[in-house]
Structure 1
Amino acid sequence: MTKVRRRRKWNILAIASVVLAALLSIIGVTSLNVDQVPGRDSLRLSSASRALTTSVDRLPRDGWSSQRGESLSGSEIQADIEALDDAKYHVKIGVYSNSTYDLDLSIPSFSSNGYVWMRWEQPLQDYLEANDTDLQEHISLLNALLSDAEPVLNPVQDKPAVLSDGTYYQLYTYVGRFYIDRATFKKFPFLTISLPIAIEADDVAGGLGYTKLRFEPDIRNSGMGLYAGTGIIGWLNRGWSIAEYRHNYATNFGLGGLDRDYSLIVYDITFGTSSWSSFWRLMLPLLVVMVMVLLVFKIRPDEQDARAGIPVTVLLTLVFLQQVYRGELPDLPFLTFLDLVYVIAYVITLFAFVLLVWIGRRYADMESMPLGEARDNLSKRLELLDEVWPLSMVLFCSVAVVSAWVLIPPGA
């Protein structure tokens, strides 16, 4: 009895030490955590016509929307409509993507090529001629990345064409690599990503600011070509959108006055992963491994070495599986849904190993006990634990995984 009491005392001390170490680790990591400072630039969806779903009741079931920034509200909408009418220069911009390819989530970025066309009226043409410039010199692809060939707009004709209504028209081609600003990484492996091309007025001096130059999306003729929606193997196309935004730079670029606003067109194609493909590829192997942990208590108690070895093997397998899928993603400052599932798997595996060690000690004690009621009661408790473990862990896993999914914000 004295030996049992001494062992129980050391077990309590061991548990207290583990809890204390865990608390100190949490406090230490929390104190070292870095808070993110938000950027001061902002995007606001303008009142111009758009091919973009913004109504909440029309969004897909996962809450995904291609909208960037916030919508105008109240009196801001009417003020922006009046500003659109009063703007001195108007450019109608259309985008038609021929192909999208070479998606790289680790950056994240993608490659694309296609056409951009612009139509403008005489006042803007007079401005360009007075400054001896072409329109493409005042246009930038905002999210373009440096690559072998810098993404630029290349005019198809040497000079803009004059249409029958007196407007000027210029067709451009583009090819390049572009940065991805929106993706539902929190829901990985059930991902949705937006592949955008952002076109903005490039005029630091302010002569073509938001109040003077407004872009209007050509929603009727914009779209995507044959390979734009199918060029990324393994992803499902969810449609395209185009809209104008007001891009507020939190600076006047040292020229004095208020912060600068510019008109910005964002054209994007949305892709999503197949839920079944993601499940079979990433979730099923994890499920099979965890079933081994649940069934470890069905092995005969006298095979203690085999019982204790399975959680260790499972733990190494979990580490390997997690490293494989993490290699597909950028370094994220948060846990994805699959990360949370693996955390649950780690907890269950560790708990199973500790429980197996404890049960093994109890069986060792039982062997030294004389035949009688005490030994029979201990044997029944251990057998009951072997029966209850799989069911209790299935229930715990189900609640934990569902909670991890439900707590992800809609559209995140």
Structure 2
Amino acid sequence: MGIKKFYVLFFIGLLFSFSLSFGLQYHSFAATPRQTESNLVVRPLDPKRDIEIGIHIENVYNLSLKDKTFNAEGWFWLKWPEAVQEIITKNKIPILEIVELVNQVETWDSNIQLDSNEPELLADGKRLQLVRFSAKFYDDVQNLKRFPFETLELPITLETRPTIFSMADQAISLNPKLGSTGVLGQYAGLNGFGLQGSSLTKSIYAYNTSFGENNGEKGGEFSRVEYTVNYSTEFWPSFYQYIMPWLAVMAMLILAPNLEGKFTELRLAIPSTALLTLVFLQLGTSSDLPKLSYITFIDQLYLFGYIASIVLFALFVWGSNLYETAPAEQQQTVMLKINRIDLIYQISIIAGSGLIAVSAYL
């Protein structure tokens, strides 16, 4: 194979790898955004029918990125006026059924208890009820596109439940008076993640059903409050666990061409060994993740590593064949040519690794 033909094939492969990376980055593989509750129109409500709500999340644990679940423990409290109490009494609504934890899963393994048998009657005529909860929750807003340097938003969503509380009936609204302050307790941190605080969303959520109630087309609208605990990945632990092994293999690929072209067997063994190592490293990395509809940051790094390994193997095959078929008096010249191509490969892989890392993260 002539030197010009090799240059053409080499740069076509390099251009293909860059194009593939950028295509995966900007293609619509990213998870489709859900319809957020804030997009819904919240109609004016009667403040006399507000239920004040607050929450204190004492403990967050058992985070599973693969199952998209986490456990949380704490308290939430409800405070309502006499107008709401009349509706509760008239319809014999149990206190625990005034609101529900919407994204709770595996209810058989949860514990939700009233702190007192009866609500406390306050001086202003309102009633206060404290509820203790310990449950597993589902997180449907995970975005692992930048894994292993992702941010996490773990939501706990509360919503009015009896259909009589719907916007088309009694229009009972949840009103988080305390905002997001005081939400997080002493043990709300997670290993490997930095706690970034909490956020709060108040909304009217519209189901696409009226739940069998003949109370108008808006019978499936309920007041909802979502408390979200925000985390970010600790950089250095994630770097050492996920990026350092990839860097070690890429360093081997970059240094491999420094071997003289006459060491044919040794040169050919390095890219194939590196390729297998990258495959097993990626399998280990993805074992902790759910099946995703998009390519993560670490996946794109491994994809570039695969391409670099294959190109290096092809380069060594070409160099070996060129050296073995060259006349004895030309082998020194051929060796210089092989070394020149090796240097081009090394520079290209170093530059390409940086470009891929930046483009994949953005």
TM-score band (shorter)?
A: 0.7 to 0.9
Partner of 1:238: 196
**Corresponding residue for residue 36 of structure 2:** 43
Classify 1:340/1:151 alpha carbon distance in 2 versus 1 (closer, same or farther; 3 Å): farther
Task: Give the distance between the partners of 2:97 and 2:68, measured in 1 at CA.
Answer: 27
Asked if the contact 1:87/1:211 (under 8 Å) is kept, the reply is no
Question: What is aligned with 2:92?
Answer: 132
Deviation at 1:253, TM superposition (A): 2.6
Q: Superposed, which structure 2 residues align to 1:139-158 within 5 Å?
A: 139-146=99-106, 148-152=108-112, 154-158=113-117
Residues 196-215 of structure 1 correspond to what in structure 2 (within 5 A)?
A: 196-204=155-163, 207=166, 212-215=171-174
Query: In 1, Cα distance between the equivalents of 2:247 and 2:347?
Result: 15
Q: Does 1:396 align with 2:356?
A: no
Q: Distance in 2 between matches of 1:333 and 1:160?
A: 47
Counterpart in the other structure of 1:311: 271
Preserved contact between residue 304 and residue 360 of structure 1 (Cα < 8 Å)? yes
Q: Compared with structure 1, are the counterparts of its residues 132 and 167 closer, same or farther at alpha carbon in structure 2 (3 Å cutoff)?
A: same
The alignment status of 1:107 with 2:100, answered yes or no, reads no
Match of 2:153 in 1: 194
Distance 1:353 1:36, change over 3 A: closer
Residues 172 and 204 (structure 1), Cα distance of their counterparts in 2 relative to 1, 3 Å cut: same
Structure 1's 281 and 405: CA in aligned 2 closer, same or farther, altered over 3 A?
same
Aligned counterparts of 1:97 and 1:294: Cα–Cα separation in 2: 49
Say whether residues 1:251 and 2:209 are aligned partners.
yes
- The alpha carbon displacement at 1:383 in A equals 2.2
In structure 1, what is the equivalent of residue 121 of structure 2? 162
Whether 1:83 and 2:76 are equivalent positions in the alignment is no
Amino acid at match of 2:101: L
Q: Residue in 1 aligned with 2:243?
A: 283
Aligned CA RMSD, in angstroms, stands at: 3.0
Cα displacement (A) at 1:148: 4.5
Q: Which runs of 5+ in 2 are unaligned?
A: 21-28
Q: Specify the SS of the correspondent of 1:258.
A: coil
- The answer as to 2:361 corresponding to 1:405 is yes
Question: How far did residue 401 of structure 1 move?
Answer: 2.1
Residue identity in the other structure for 1:43? T
CA deviations on 1:303-352 (whole Å, 9 max, x unpaired) are: 11011001111111111111111111111121111001110111111111
Letter in 1 for 2:147: F
Partner of 1:270: 230
Determine helix, strand or coil for the equivalent of 2:295: coil
Q: 1:356 — aligned with what?
A: 316
Question: Which of these residues, 307, 332, 336, is aligned with residue 347 of structure 1?
Answer: 307
Residue aligned with 1:226, SS: strand
Structure 1 residues 173-207: Cα deviation after superposition (integer angstroms, max 9, x where no partner) = 00111111223300100021112111111123565
The aligned length equals 341
Corresponding residue SS for 1:394: helix
Is the 8 Å Cα contact of residues 114 and 132 (structure 2) preserved in structure 1? yes
Q: TM-score, normalised by structure 1?
A: 0.76
SS in 2 for 1:186: coil
Structure 1 residue 97 displacement after superposition: 1.0
SS of 1:371's equivalent in the other structure is helix
**Equivalent of residue 340 in structure 2, options 384, 398, 411:** 384
* More moved, 206-215 vs 173-182: 206-215
Equivalent pair of 2:167/2:221 in contact (CA under 8 Å): no
Which whole-Å CA distance do the structure 1 matches of 2:329 and 2:128 have between them? Answer: 98
SS in structure 1 at match of 2:247: helix
Q: Secondary structure at the match of 2:329?
A: coil
Kept after mapping to 2: 8 A contact 1:42/1:247: no
Provide the TM-score with structure 2 as the length reference: 0.85
